[in-house]
Amino acid sequence: MCRLLALHSDQPITADFWLLDAPYSLLRQSRFNADGTGLGWIDEHGAPQVAKKPVAAYASERFGQIATAVRSRAMIAHVRLSSGTGHSDENTHPFLQDGILSAHNGVLEVTEQMKERVRALGAAHHVRGVTDSEWMAALITGEVAAHDGDLHDGVVAALDWIARNVPVYSVNVLVLKDEELIAVRLPATNELWVLEREATTAAPREALDQSSATLRTRSEDLAGIDSVVIASEPMDDDPAWRLMDSGELLHLAADGSMHRERPFGPVAQPLALEDLGLSAAASQAHAAQDQAQQERRRRLAERAA
């Protein structure tokens, strides 16, 4: 399945540790998710930027160059495993629409009713590819505009509408606007994890001296900085990683304050893996990747005990 990453910090930093060097970095995850790579961030002038290509991160020299060059307080990244749609720039995440960056992991059914809702909101012109993710992004963009630019209210309205009206397998989504970040896990089908790190160098962990069974790496850049990392799976063996609840929305304001809530009811039309088409089902179930995740969860539980 696709993989998500978000980084929010109290000062501009690079995300190269999480993108390239961590024991389970996005670069390593792209071995299983090789259909597209993208990074979206807010630059030093407060403007959203996006760089993406329908190629695997591990095969892209440009991905490494961008990962080490971009400095930002807020960014999201995505490595794609296609659910059956073509490999193109238009189908590659993140999507940038009216200053809003978004990336998605999961599957939902884009019904005619959903398309009509997006058209009614005046947001259909944002859809240039053929993915369910881009239609969902357009619905979010339209709802944000309908809620006077309020990102939180727009995201809640869009995903609440989806939960009530269309068949959903998984809607794990990251949405970023003006250094304001929202992450949602809906429902519990796919995982989404959070790591909160306070600005201190009191212990080796805080300097990100991390190791796995096969790799040891250290990042001094992230020491002494308040940061929050959100990812589809724990990216190192730090026991502080927390699995988000089903239906949880995590809201990080531009000033770094964080709020958790569960504003969504149950999905009205839940989809099981067997309900998906062959390509979509394959994109959501990868045996080797799932086995690796299970082993990491076991180690994290042992370290936290």
> How many domains does the chain contain in total?
1
Q: Which residue has the tokens 């589809």?
A: 232
* Cβ neighbour number for residue 140 with a 10 Å cutoff: 31
Reply yes or no: is the peptide bond before residue 266 cis, omega within 30 of 0. Answer: no
161: containing domain: 3-304
- pLDDT at res. 33: 67
Angle at 160 between CA 231 and CA 170, to 5 degrees: 40
Task: Give φ, ψ of 9 to 5 degrees.
Answer: -140, 170
- What distances in angstroms separate CA 268 from CA 81, 164, 168, 247, 271, one per listed residue? 26, 5, 8, 13, 10
- pLDDT at res. 34: 64
Length of the chain: 305
* Cβ neighbour number for residue 282 with a 10 Å cutoff: 16
The residue among 107, 93, 128, 90 whose CA lies nearest residue 6 is: 93
Q: Is 110 left (phi over 0), alpha (psi -120 to 50) or beta?
A: beta
Measure the CA–CA gap between 116 and 263, rounded to whole angstroms. Answer: 24
Give the chain's radius of gyration (CA, Å). Answer: 18
pLDDT over 70, % of the chain: 76
Taking residues 99-103, report their average pLDDT.
Answer: 97
40-54, 141-155, 189-203 — which one is most confidently predicted on average? 141-155
At residue 94, the 3 state secondary structure works out as coil
> Could you tell me where the DSSP H helices lie in the chain?
16, 26-29, 61-69, 112-120, 132-146, 151-165, 278-284, 287-304
Q: Which of these ranges, 22-36, 113-127, 132-146, 207-221, has the smallest mean pLDDT?
A: 207-221
In this structure, what token pair is assigned to residue 133?
């993710």
Res. 289: pLDDT tops 60: no
Measure the CA–CA gap between 8 and 6, rounded to whole angstroms. Answer: 7
Residue 104 near residue 171 (C-beta atoms within 8 A): yes
DSSP string, 140-196: HHHHHHHTTT-HHHHHHHHHHHHHHHS-BS-EEEEEEETTEEEEEEESSSS--EEEE
Res. 254: pLDDT tops 60: yes
Q: Which of these ranges, 42-51, 195-204, 235-244, has the smallest mean pLDDT?
A: 195-204
Q: Which of these ranges, 19-23, 155-159, 170-174, 188-192, has the smallest mean pLDDT?
A: 19-23
Q: Which of these ranges, 40-49, 76-85, 130-139, 222-231, has the smallest mean pLDDT?
A: 76-85
Indicate the pTM of the whole model.
0.84
Q: Can you give the CATH number for the domain in which 110 is found?
A: 3.60.20.10
Q: Which of these ranges, 56-70, 95-109, 130-144, has the smallest mean pLDDT?
A: 56-70
Taking residues 5-13, report their average pLDDT.
Answer: 93
Express each pLDDT in 119-177 by its tens digit: 999 999 999 998 999 999 999 999 999 999 999 999 999 999 999 999 999 999 999 99
> Could you tell me where the DSSP H helices lie in 190-260?
none
The residue among 219, 240, 224 whose CA lies nearest residue 10 is: 224
